[in-house]
Structure 1
Amino acid sequence: MTRSVASAVIAVLAITCCWQPAVADPPDPKIEAAVRRSLDYLARAQTKQGYWTANQGQYRVAMTALAANAMLCEGSTTTRGRYAENIRAAVNYLVSMSQPAGLIGFKDDYHYTYGHGFSMLFLSQVYGEEEDKVRRQELKEVLVKAVEFTKNAQTSRGGWGYVSAKDGNDFDEGSTCITQVQGLRACRNAGIPVPKNVIDRAVKYISDCMTADGGVQYSIRGGGARPAISGAAIACLFNSGEQEDEMAKKLLAYCKKNIWPGGGGNTYSGHWHYMHYYYSQVMYRDEELWPKYSKQIGGEILKQQTRGGPDDGAWLQGHIGPVYVTSINSTILQLQNGFLPIYQR
């Protein structure tokens, strides 16, 4: 979530994922118990108004979308399941944050594109399952406006920054690009129109950010290849069905060398969790590598989980706050559930 997590991703290309039910892997009792404790922690941390926050009360919109999305991964919806009330409150809050121009969030938040992108991702998953006609139409209107805002926020180079191109003097960097692209892809999968030229320009941006060794650097201006950014970039390529693209093959080779197994930084860095949030989606799509990867990453994550006290079930690593890391880790641990189209094989 910080500038150094930066540069990348954006290759949603054709965006052709299908919405077929996924077959879940056999559950691991230790993982199930850890997930239950983590989601119960998030339920306790939610405010009465329906939102979550990072440290110092920051990133309300982004934390709300990430935490509620983790609850969707458990199988709960707005109408049923253990966390239905929490998810419903989160949807209400995010819908209330939809501005006339389409931004989901606060204009005075100097990182508002994070929350906007994560909200597109979360709300599109809810929209795909919504049965109430009135609420479904409301969600559709919010998402259509959100896509339009993202289109207008794109920079001249095809990327995105912490704020729109207009508000940020055309500055762009990779971590915010990632949230926009995956949010757009999720909207497209849910039936929300996404202009092809927005994706084409984003693809060009990520290509321009690649280094000779196959990694993705901080931004189009340079900064050297970063494992965290590269892991996020390859996730977007795989999500869009571009596994066989030459750019994807080169990037995947870089990631396997620098992230798998065990590389790319330590587990106490916020970038480590960010990196594996995206890279785990790639590994999950590889039925041969997933068992080994999930065993290692799951063991590493479970070792860090807090036991006892008011933070029971949370993860406290990194500087953004426990809601952020707990939402990411619980999502990683639930990929095998296969409930959300955005993460399915």
Structure 2
Amino acid sequence: MLLFGTTHCGAQVLEIRTGEAVPREVREMYDAGLQHLIDSQDQQGSWNSSYRGAGVDGMAVMCFLASGEDPNFGAYAAPMRKTLRNMLRQQSRRTGFFGGSMYHHGFAMLAVAEAYGTVDDRNLWPGESESEQITLAESLELAVRCAVTSQKKNSYGAWRYNPSGNDADTSVSGSVLVGLLAARNAGIEVPDEAIDRAIKYFVSMTSPSGQVAYAGGMGGFDESMARISIAALVYAVARRKDLPQYKQTLEYLKSRLVSGGRAGLGSVEYQNYYQAQALFQGDEESWKKWNQKLIDTLKTRQQPDGSFDGSYGKSVSTCLSLLALALNYRFLPIYER
């Protein structure tokens, strides 16, 4: 890839959001992209990708949930549940790790958090023995425990590719921290200390200019719009908009709405995924301007089969592109301001 207890808390409820109608051009692109994901899904419920794993499965689940598709009824319900089952089977019942890398773990944890409260667990494991089943609440609690345990071993208070890694980078750490914040929003207990330590790491990696370094305690402050967007997003979702580093990163993003800046991390799709959320959380008018530019760009890049191709291949690039557009729907709880 790029890529606490056992008490079950009340799940979040997926409510229909109100607001401006979704533009027709967005709906048409999005529907074509979802159809591509359905057409290219394999028997296990995953996608044939060099980045194959729970994180990619989680991205796909989020694509469907983000446009309001019902995981219990309708044309997309069975494929969504098949992907969720495949994702959950990859999670260690002992450690809670989703496998592959902490990138996969972060995106899978985020997907489970967003699915929790919307998926009827009684319909998730048809015909499976009870020993094979795990509820979304149980999975999410395990995933949180894995992330927190990994962080406690890390001298930076953040995350790297391996759960036992002792170095850290802002890209992997962003994926895990957003997953933890989504779990907390869903009602799962996440220690305040874990969030505070991770935010402290991001503060240490943010320069006064708003640029964000990559790895360790330092690593070069350059114009990576992806890293700047990740930092702005985690500050916002963690409710730390009071931090000067939040204002610095957001202002940097707003100052580059026209030029777009440098993608960094090898993928404009990855940048778009985070920049959409960061701008939406930070400044709606800036997001609207940037969003229209994104729509115009993606209209020219979508393939006849509904896919988007890019640095990470069709499956991942399609998921990231759809999720960058998904703010137009505003269904996912993590997309709320």
TM-score normalized with structure 2 length: 0.86
CA displacement, residues 14-65 of structure 1 (integer Å, 9 cap, x when unaligned)? xxx997753242121121111111110011111111112423xx33211111
Structure-2 residue corresponding to 1:340: 332
Residue 250 (structure 2) pairs with residue 255 (structure 1): no
2:71 pairs with 1:78: yes
Matched, 1:47 2:45: no
Aligned to 2:279: 283
Larger mean CA deviation between 279-288 and 80-89 belongs to: 279-288
Please list the CA deviations of residues 255-284 of structure 1 after superposition, one character each: whole Å capped at 9, or x if unmatched: 223x422322369x8422211211111322
Q: What CA deviation, in whole Å up to 9, does each residue of 1:272-322 have, x standing for no partner?
A: 221121111132243322332211111111111112xxxx1111121x211
Q: How many residues align?
A: 316
Hey, what does 1:12 align to over in structure 2?
none
Q: Are 2:230 and 2:278, in contact at CA under 8 Å, matched by a contact in 1?
A: no
Task: From 27, 33, 40, give the equivalent of 1:38.
Answer: 33
- Superposition RMSD in Å: 2.4
Superposition pairs for residues 170-319 of structure 1, below 5 Å?
Answer: 170-219=166-215, 220-225=217-222, 226-257=224-255, 259-265=256-262, 270-285=266-281, 286-307=283-304, 312-318=305-311
- CA separation in 2, counterparts of 1:188 and 1:20? 18
Task: Pick closer, same or farther for the CA change 1:95–1:18 going to 2, 3 Å.
Answer: closer
Give the corresponding residue for 1:159.
Answer: 158
Instruction: Tell me whether 1:64 sits opposite 2:57 in the alignment.
Output: yes
**Are residue 114 (structure 1) and residue 107 (structure 2) matched?**
no
Task: Provide the secondary structure at the position in 2 that maps to 1:114.
Answer: helix
Deviation digits for residues 229-263 of structure 1, max 9, x if unmatched?
01111011222333343221111112223x42232
* Alignment partners' CA distance in 1, 2:134 and 2:46: 22
Output the amino acid matched with 1:331. L
CA displacement 1:149-182 (0-9 Å, x = unmatched)? 1011111111100111x2x3x1211211011100
Would the aligned equivalents of 1:270 and 1:325 in 2 still touch at CA under 8 Å? no
Post-superposition shift, 1:85?
1.2
Is the 8 Å Cα contact of residues 208 and 248 (structure 2) preserved in structure 1? no
Q: What SS does the corresponding residue of 1:288 show, helix, strand or coil?
A: helix
2:96 and 2:139 in contact (8 A); partners too: no
Q: How big is the shift at 1:344?
A: 1.8
Q: What residue identity is the alignment partner of 1:316? A: D
- Report if the CA contact (8 A) 1:52-1:67 is conserved: no
SS of corresponding position for 1:231: helix
d(CA) in 2 for partners of 1:143, 1:39: 25
Are 2:118 and 1:129 aligned?
yes
**Bigger RCO of structures 1 and 2 (CA < 8 A, at least 6 apart):** 1
* One-letter code aligned to 1:296: K
**Pairwise CA distance, 1:78:** 1.9
Q: After alignment, is 190-199 or 283-292 more displaced? A: 283-292
Identity of aligned residues (%): 28
| Runs of 5+ unmatched residues, structure 2 | 4-11, 125-132
Name the TM-score, length of structure 1 as normaliser: 0.85
SS in structure 2 opposite 1:212?
Answer: coil
